[in-house]
Structure 1
Amino acid sequence: MSELGGSARGFVGDAADGAREASLMLRFGWLAVMGAVFFLTYGFANWLASRRASVPTFAFGWEHAIPFVPWTIVPYWSIDLLYALSFFFWVRRDDLLDHVKRLLTVQLVSVVCFIAWPLRFGFERPDAGGVAGALFTMLMGFDKPYNQAPSLHIGLLVVLWAVYAKHLRNPAARVVLHLWFTAIGVSVLTTWQHHAIDVPTGAAVGCLALFLFPLRDAGGRSPGLNGASTAESRVLARRYALAALAVACLALACVPGSVGWALVAGWGALGLGCVASIYWRGVPAAFQKDARGHFPPFMLLLFAPTIVGAFVNSRVWTFRRPQPVRIDAQVSIGRTPTSRGLRRYGFTGLVDLTAEMPRWMKDEASVAYVSAPQLDLVVPSYSQLQQAVAALEELHEAGHDLLICCALGYGRSVLCAAAWLAMRRDLRDARDAFAAVRAVQPCAVWSEGSVAVLQAWIDRRAARGAA
């Protein structure tokens, strides 16, 4: 644990200006509070379920083939120790409070579900002897066969897995970490504590907590904090929310006939709901796509349905015009590329404007990559446009043959290209810059808002030059 703690201090030791330190007493205090919350709320939900005349159970037929493995109670119990130790990673108070919020979100959402629709474990667990038997006896002292879906164990596991993976840097130690956390996840089934349906629902709650309160970077910045909601983004947020509601209703309708399809539909509804939240706040960084174009593993899991939908949509709309178009000798615009597309056209640089999809390239070393995420169908802010143009200019000056991409290559990339052409050709009118792009890309689209932000960018740049 010394290496883990040292890595934690090294990773978060450079506190942002003005950030307050989380004292040891504060960490112990929050651990005590969260311990009390855990036992009180979990015990209350158990008590309510036990007073019901009957509590239903649900299990897939194939679950009878899952073996009872007594020794897996050891990794099952180990999450309690990992839970307690997790409070002592944080140097900054904001990091500690975010961690508390994540754990509290998992706890409260799970307990509300336990109260609203309690389920019980339906199999008779065999007796276990030795140390394993003693651990099962201890567990049954406060745990009851109720409160199944979502699995609180799995929800907490997801959050703790992300936290420990963030702080542990040694490659060999990370392998051990992932193997042990995998064993904890499997143990909820092999100890006959949970049915299979509890696992994906618990994972969904954990992913939701990581989305609502994302892990901060080394400077204390949260990817979900900085944004600018607009009327345009709020309209799109409502549309995504309605879509999420419709898919959630579909999930409920599927429950009597096919629980498997209900889980798939519920997964899609959760992803759409999170996208709606991102648009409502106007925060492209809330997708948590990093500088290399990757999503954190649990965000990739959370957004998998919407990522697949966005990719398929990009291919459908560009089916007849898949090829990028050149706006300059070494600059092109186009749809988000795969590795095959980059190799085919020979690009050595990529400015990626998508926030909703990860980069699709496998050979990352062969291409100079910059992520400048913007929300689809939303006019970017001045700073977002400036970030994209600056990245484009830097790669161009380095001699790369580069592609500016968005989902289709018709919107966000058009605005970025128009700004760059205005800078290169000294164009003073935003509409002239857009017209220059449409001359080579007839499918280019823009709004009056795009014209306004580009004109403001041109005028500010001209003012700086005059000064």
Structure 2
Amino acid sequence: MPSSAEPPPLSPSAEPYGRVVLRAALWLAFLAPFFYSTYGFANWLASTRDHVGSIVFSWEHHVPFVAWTIVPYWSINLFYGLSLLLNDSRQGVDRLAGRYLTAQIVAVACFILFPLTATFVRPETSGLPGFLFAVLGGFDKPFNQAPSLHIALLVIIWDHWRQRLAGPLLGLWHGWCFLIGASVLTTWQHHFIDIPTGALLGFFALWLFPAQGQLPFAGFRLTADGKAWRLALYYALGAALALTGAVVGVFFSALALLLLWPSLALAIVAFAYAGAGAKVFQKAVDGRVSLASRILLWPYRLGARVNVWAWTRKLPPVVPVSDGVFLGRFPNAAEADGFGTVIDLAAELERPGDAPGRWQSFGMLDLLSPPADTLDQAVAAIEPARRHGTVLV
């Protein structure tokens, strides 16, 4: 056979697709019965209670019932399985399955501990929508509400496909995912509060099993640094207070559940100081962070930005330390534009989206002595960076 007809050699990171399919099939063989058994158990347990509450905003009574949206609602089941096949490595399959499993376990735990019920009664439907509603009613009861497992899985699956599509197909994918998300309301399957709580769970699963890079819990060892322990305890206390505020406050207003967001963010930061390290911020060498990190840690980063402003507002933004090298606070885009290279040591802060120029990140936890190896790498990067102009550290 002519050499031109031979298949190209596999790259070092590529795997035979048959192995990927086998791994996906094995995971699906476990996940499907695990889903139906645990989800069904939570439904059954809620049905045995004398009273199951609900969280409904008054405006939700104006949400129309749109029967045909049961089609996009059901379509997530198809994408659930296809997504496992849409991988080029067994690690990719494992991480996606880890996200599915995380969402399932956390959601079912919430369904058992804090059961809620849907209060709207759907009208009779016929045709394809009627058939799909009948099948849905065969295993899904009006319980298992918050966080919406449907929304959590949607976030996971949306993120998986958006990284693999482009052009018109990507736009179509975003539109279809919007329909899936809206359908939890227009099918009267969920109440609104289930959506943000489900999305938070979905992003947590994405953060826990990122598509690339280290797992946040990989190599975790409890720190022996006393200062790190104190900071971990402070952040853990903040997370506990926010969680308490959410649990107690929900009896007065459902909006109190918004406190779950900063509670989770502070818990992640506490985890970093307890021993996980700077990798929990999922910051790449170019200073950008993963989407999950950006969403989950937004409350913490907002507080960190305010803290930077409070401590540095009366100080010069930069000071020279040697020829062409400056030391300064974390820059905004305009400040970064004045330098050839920014060498970023702040693990918790994200590079401004419109910051131009070269950016090198060597993440270190705030208020702790920097790891010697990371510090050595940052120092070693300064001299090469000077060839590209001034350097801000």
Q: Partner residue of 1:258?
A: 253
Q: Partner residue of 1:238?
A: 233
Are 1:29 and 2:21 counterparts? no
Shift of 1:199: 0.8
Match of 1:182 among 175, 178, 181: 178
Shift of 1:16: 8.8
CA gap 1:216/1:361 in 2 versus in 1, 3 angstroms? closer
C-alpha separation in 2, matches of 1:179 and 1:296: 22
Shift of 1:21: 8.9
Mapped contact 1:58–1:122 kept (Cα < 8 A): no
How big is each residue's C-alpha offset from its partner over 1:358-398, in whole Å with a ceiling of 9 and x where there is no partner?
A: 11252x4x321112211111222222112212332221122
Q: Partner residue of 1:308?
A: 302
Match of 1:154 among 146, 151, 154: 151
Match of 2:71 among 70, 74, 86: 74
TM-score, normalised by the number of residues in structure 1: 0.76
Mapped contact 1:20–1:93 kept (Cα < 8 A): no
Look up the equivalent residue of 1:403 and give its one-letter code: L
TM-score, normalised by the number of residues in structure 2: 0.90
Q: Mean alpha-carbon deviation: is it higher for 292-301 or for 45-54?
A: 292-301
Q: Partner residue of 2:352?
A: 360
Secondary structure, in 3 states, of the residue corresponding to 1:58? coil
Mapped contact 1:350–1:368 kept (Cα < 8 A): yes
Match of 2:279 among 277, 285, 294: 285
How big is each residue's C-alpha offset from its partner over 1:400-457, in whole Å with a ceiling of 9 and x where there is no partner?
A: 12211xxxxxxxxxxxxxxxxxxxxxxxxxxxxxxxxxxxxxxxxxxxxxxxxxxxxx
C-alpha separation in 1, matches of 2:224 and 2:178: 42
RMSD: 2.5
CA gap 1:14/1:196 in 2 versus in 1, 3 angstroms? farther
C-alpha separation in 2, matches of 1:16 and 1:378: 39
Secondary structure, in 3 states, of the residue corresponding to 1:357? coil
Aligned pairs, number: 383
Look up the equivalent residue of 2:246 and give its one-letter code: A
Shift of 1:230: 4.5
Q: Partner residue of 2:391?
A: 402
Identity of aligned residues (%): 40
Shift of 1:252: 2.1
Are 1:386 and 2:376 counterparts? yes
Mapped contact 1:114–1:148 kept (Cα < 8 A): yes
Shift of 1:111: 0.8
Q: Partner residue of 2:5?
A: none
C-alpha separation in 2, matches of 1:20 and 1:138: 34
C-alpha separation in 1, matches of 2:387 and 2:218: 32
Look up the equivalent residue of 2:296 and give its one-letter code: L
C-alpha separation in 2, matches of 1:161 and 1:386: 39
C-alpha separation in 1, matches of 2:202 and 2:353: 28
C-alpha separation in 2, matches of 1:326 and 1:226: 38
Mapped contact 1:149–1:202 kept (Cα < 8 A): yes
C-alpha separation in 2, matches of 1:361 and 1:397: 24
Unaligned 5+ segments in structure 1 are 1-9, 405-467
Secondary structure, in 3 states, of the residue corresponding to 1:141? helix
Mapped contact 1:213–1:224 kept (Cα < 8 A): no
Shift of 1:74: 1.4
Shift of 1:203: 1.3
Mapped contact 1:67–1:190 kept (Cα < 8 A): yes
Mapped contact 2:55–2:254 kept (Cα < 8 A): no
Shift of 1:34: 0.2
Mapped contact 1:113–1:149 kept (Cα < 8 A): yes
Q: Partner residue of 2:105?
A: 108
Shift of 1:291: 3.2
Mapped contact 1:21–1:93 kept (Cα < 8 A): no
Q: Partner residue of 2:291?
A: 297
How big is each residue's C-alpha offset from its partner over 1:337-376, in whole Å with a ceiling of 9 and x where there is no partner?
A: 1123335xx22321111111211252x4x32111221111
Mapped contact 2:228–2:368 kept (Cα < 8 A): yes
